[in-house]
Structure 1
Amino acid sequence: MQDELRDYLIKDEPYYRPVADEIELYEAAYSVRMPMMLKGPTGCGKTRFVEYMAWKLNKPLITVACNEDMTASDLVGRFLLDANGTRWQDGPLAMAARHGAICYLDEVVEARQDTTVVIHPLTDNRRVLPLERKGELIQAHPDFQVVISYNPGYQSLMKDLKQSTKQRFGALDFNYPAHDLESEIVAHETGVSLDVASKLVSVAERARNLKGHGLDEGISTRMLVYAGSLIHKGVAPLAACRMALVRPITDDPDMRDALDAAVTTFF
């Protein structure tokens, strides 16, 4: 293990409940270093899954939260000035490729397409990363893998991956777990009873049915964990749900009233 990557090792097992055969499929993909794409709505467990797999495989995980201002240099690296002049600083992608980590590009479609193309030579049989400014060609470490995630619900002509990018990856679909499993997850993560967790999931399912009918996105498992954590700390369920579930996802008064009514139904 390179010293540079010790801080990126996940030491404690992340809590993750498999929904299908995603763990076995990912392990098979990693064994041949297939780049992987995780597709699913926000807050459904994609990042937790990557963390769990990095822990299970005992590989360092370098995570990059992609955004529209991110440049190729932010991923690859740049020259920096210090007291001794200029020195090269590897970006997260270069560090992962050089030393052998899993590089996770979260919500990759938020980055500009001219930025994401820098991963292309790392995601085919070449497995190289050209550092043009430095005049170096990094041969990817045998342990290196690229993983990307995105939410297909936000696809548009302006914000989607090129086919030339998509076809370099294997893909796993993620969605919100079945009611009983999601209730178990919420109860475990928050400390509330299974009954309270089940009611929270029921509220979320009502909201998810409204996606595309007044809501851009439904209530995520992550939001349910927030609400459950508040309830566990003594906040009244109605207030916790309004603050953690309803208010963040809509400003429309009628939609808020409809969701508040759903909360009242269960609590």
Structure 2
Amino acid sequence: MINELPKEIATILQSTKKDPVQFEEMIRPGGYLPPEMDLMVDAISALSMGKNILLKGPTGAGKTKFAETLSHLFNQPMFSVNCSVDLDAESLLGFKTLSYKEEKQVIEFVPGPVINSMNYGHFLYIDEINMAKPETLPLINGVLDYRRTITNPFTNEVITAKAGFNVIAAINEGYVGTVPLNEALKNRFVVIEVPYIEGEQLKQLIETNTKLKDSKNIGLFVKLSGDLINAVNQGKVAEDAASIRALLDACDLSVLVPPKRAILRSIVDKLDEEREREFVKNLADTLF
């Protein structure tokens, strides 16, 4: 199954290495700008060949925004599944309910995100896929491989995905409640490693995605992010501390409250360890 890109994007994709700036302009405003344009090119290439992609990286690195940007570039609406230990067949596929038709009570099947995305030929986004119980996801193995089909256990209907359907999943490894993906599931994906956004690209992200316009403070928030990422890499703080999502919240809040208080509310107070909270507060005191 080949998912065709709009012609103008396909043309730009072919010339990305020659003119990456032109491609970046297509993604803006508000879209995901990867640290390396190869990440976007590889993801688009895989999806256009009908392959599923697994976005792998730390929390707050922009995986959901990456998926939304891909959906936008393909002009494909996207159904979403948020995985948890409570995820079951009904959450994925749909459920039966009582309704009325011509004044008679009937049992009706209400399709879930997997069935809807297959029937409409849209994208399916499975967030935090490794939060689901290992026995749940094999229900959609046939959806994720070359067959692109499923037998709906609630109706016994065999459903084959329409052209355009594809799957993007995201994974945060090493968190409480997560489980390793089994090999059968992992082998159904092309893996795209999503690192933190840093430097000039983070500056652009703050400028386009937050209400903060003060160039000095934007520079200080970029420096804070870089220091937090280094601290994560050195094992001084948890990955949550370097979440880009949390940083953008802090940037927004800093328009109305002092930056250090914005950092306290958006980043510090989310951390569990007092040692980590003090570390981030000290960084904020130094910069702001």
The TM-score, its normalising length taken from structure 2, stands at 0.82
**Contact kept in structure 2, 1:186 and 1:221, CA below 8 Å:** no
Match of 1:15 among 22, 31, 43: 31
Match of 1:186 among 193, 196, 206: 206
Structure 2: tracts of 5 or more residues without a match: 1-27
Match of 1:221 among 227, 241, 244: 244
Aligned to 2:143: 122
Match of 1:25 among 36, 42, 45: 42
Deviation (angstroms), 1:195? 2.7
Alignment of 1:97-176 (within 5 A): 97-154=118-175, 159-176=179-196
Match of 2:253 among 205, 227, 230: 230
What one-letter code is carried by the residue in structure 1 that aligns with 2:122?
Answer: A
SS in 1 for 2:270: coil
**Contact kept in structure 1, 2:91 and 2:112, CA below 8 Å:** yes
Match of 2:271 among 244, 249, 259: 249
The root-mean-square deviation of aligned C-alpha atoms, in Å, is 2.0
Counting aligned pairs with the same residue, the percent is 26
**Could you say if the C-alpha distance between residues 155 and 166 of structure 1 is closer, same or farther in structure 2, counting changes exceeding 3 Å?**
farther
Alignment of 1:12-91 (within 5 A): 14-20=30-36, 21-83=38-100, 84-91=105-112
**Contact kept in structure 2, 1:37 and 1:169, CA below 8 Å:** yes
Structure 1: tracts of 5 or more residues without a match: 1-11
Q: Any idea what the Cα deviations from partners look like across 1:172-220, whole Å, max 9, x if unmatched?
A: 1101112221122123211323331221232233333343335353321
Aligned to 2:17: none
Aligned to 1:204: 225
Aligned length: 253
Deviation (angstroms), 1:254? 3.0
Q: Which stretch shows the higher mean deviation, 113-122 or 199-208?
A: 199-208
**Contact kept in structure 1, 2:76 and 2:123, CA below 8 Å:** yes
**Could you say if the C-alpha distance between residues 155 and 266 of structure 1 is closer, same or farther in structure 2, counting changes exceeding 3 Å?**
same
SS in 1 for 2:33: coil
Q: Any idea what the Cα deviations from partners look like across 1:17-63, whole Å, max 9, x if unmatched?
A: 23222222222112211011000111111111111111111111111
Deviation (angstroms), 1:223? 0.6
**Could you say if the C-alpha distance between residues 205 and 131 of structure 1 is closer, same or farther in structure 2, counting changes exceeding 3 Å?**
same
**In 2, Cα distance between equivalents of 1:162 and 1:238:** 43
SS in 2 for 1:63: strand
Deviation (angstroms), 1:125? 1.5
Aligned to 1:93: 114
**In 1, Cα distance between equivalents of 2:41 and 2:238:** 34
Runs of 4+ off more than 6 Å: none
Deviation (angstroms), 1:85? 2.0
